[in-house]
Amino acid sequence: MKVKSYYDNLASCGEIISDNEHVTVIFNGLSLEYEPVITFITTSHVPYSVQGVTIMLLDAEARHRGCLSVSCLQCQLCGKTGHLVDQCYYRFDVFYKSVSY
């Protein structure tokens, strides 16, 4: 969230950060327990978006906490469990106020 805040602040000033730079900064802030995920993403032939990387890291975090079922996932937008923001019903609702609003 801190990296996203910096990214948004820079974007509001007209300084656009590439997805590659954004992902690199996210990786630099992670602990060693995420090294297998980082290796998988960086060696993949398929480029991952920031959103794709975020989803993979959230999934890895859930597994580290011993949560292996979908019911343990919590949406960053609505706060409900069982899904992430990429599957959230409210992600296209411009009038919806997120839990962090």
Please, what sign has the CA dihedral across residues 52, 55, 57, 63? Answer: negative
Residues 10 and 51 in one domain: yes
For the cut 60, the answer to whether the pLDDT of residue 69 exceeds it is no
Q: How confident is the model at residue 19 (pLDDT cuts 50, 70, 90)?
A: confident
Residues 23 and 55 in one domain: yes
* CA angle, 59 then 100 then 48, to 5°: 35
Q: Provide the whole-model pTM.
A: 0.59
Residues 18 and 39 in one domain: yes
Residues 61 and 85 in one domain: no
Nearest to 49 by CA among 14, 20, 92, 17: 20
Residues 88 and 57 in one domain: no
Alpha-carbon span 71 to 83, nearest angstrom:
8
Contact 82, 73 (CB under 8 A): yes
Query: How many domains in the chain?
Result: 2
Range of the domain at 82: 69-101
Beta bridge partners of 81: 74
Residues 56 and 82 in one domain: no
For the cut 60, the answer to whether the pLDDT of residue 68 exceeds it is no
